[in-house]
Structure 1
């Protein structure tokens, strides 16, 4: 079969499968517009559909239009994102919404190049917006699609390498049809998410099995190539859970960039430091009880973070500066809408 014939055959078989087995009732497949497609695609980056659905529904209920998102406070946006992780996605959503409203009259561009000029939108996300929201020809290559195409063509190597990624883009472009572009984008993501999964792919019922080289070789699990493993460094800190007599907890806002940028966290202390000295320095003789909890680990993409929670009960609320909205006393019974880092959310649940 010629390369051109194979490309056409793949898209036709995939679309036939979509017609009877593809997902058509996901929340972002209803009332389709560029805003809803964009938000869903950003949420779905490195996050499973089942996890995203309630977040997307809540986000759309609270911020149904790009204008609503642009006008929202950052804390509200991060609050709605809390638990999804990779918070730079939320901050870029907010920035892009402001740009669209302030510079583009509230209208999303309908070309891949123009969309890629906006914060947080890459080539594949732009392709999804163009093909699904505008129904114009465009190519996508998210993690699911990479896996399908890498196995179908037995493309060796880790997609994080430039030459492997370029090869996959060439293949994706060759397969992309000029008609039913929205359905094709959806079905390629569906195949990767439901049949051509990372482990135990359902090759026997896959519509592409006839010409899939990885299936023919009998080693679909070898594609795509794995990211080279590296030993992650370990960082440690004490997490100070400081309670005032009313039961409120002291939180501090992280700087806009970096780990947990813009989120609210408990104060941190070097692992070697003495919490008693910290209390004396910041609160005087107001600490009445200090309790140490077992440490736990939170893993980022580039290091492990081992945290030891230290519970500090204050005898009276200290008169510490709450300057520039960078500190607050958090009431768990009447919580404010702020973005919380995932480990902080877990500690709050444990306290409750």
Structure 2
């Protein structure tokens, strides 16, 4: 009987661009940072670098130094009564006067439905409410599914605010925030998003965006696309945490407003526990990991289980973002390979140079 080596990888890191090579002290060239993608003033949070441009931390293993809270909102009360602005448009409404029905919905302790209810749409498929830290006291949802069909399957366009054969647009805008004393700032929030179509109903684009204003909402100078990595008919985790460096958008400005824009066709977007913080000195996270075969031995792909006689070297890599205010040098990646039959005895441990 052939002996098979079955292993799992536990990646722990002091968080740097780097890679460790199993069983020999050799470091492969690290993966390069992805450059900023300019989509005509719309930026994609999943394709931004860590060199001062807006970046995103999706909740992977991370290290963060101190952060100072500047402004926060946990939706313990209805934001429509405490300085927030809530607009709704259908695609056919291109004027300046918004509709009043198809807007973000507040779910709180005494609302109907209350904060324990997620999407009410016909195709919600039993989805939960967002599982944010303060979910029980309230959150916000743009429920495109329900607005279009009123919770009835195959009843497209019969809801209280139909998609108009293209898309919904719901814009939830913060009160004014004074960031004049803070040049380097992060925006964080929890979200739960299920994707179908984007602007105009196009499935090639996401339906979730952040907009930024420096003049109390008179104009919106920049747009950041979120969740472009979520496939059609798929969703984020129901407790997905996002942290975005927004320094280049609104850092140092005294009349800032931030808008959460749903611009799409089905299903829903829930948000909660929003905070604007002074960016810490260090805020690093692993955003991607890989183990690569030894191409010198004509190995193109590796599998989770391989015969012991066919084992060869593997190259371990991790991509890391730092959205803190200082550059970090000489940070290392630590890798452990663990035999699942003896998890307390690592087969290999290594540190990048």
TM-score over 0.5 (shorter chain): no
The structure carrying a bigger strand percent of its residues is 2
Q: Higher helix share goes to which structure?
A: 1
TM-score, normalising length: structure 2: 0.20
Query: TM-score, normalised to structure 1's length?
Result: 0.20
Higher relative contact order, structure no. (Cα contacts within 8 Å, ≥ 6 residues apart): 2
For the pair shown, the structure with the greater C-alpha radius of gyration is 1
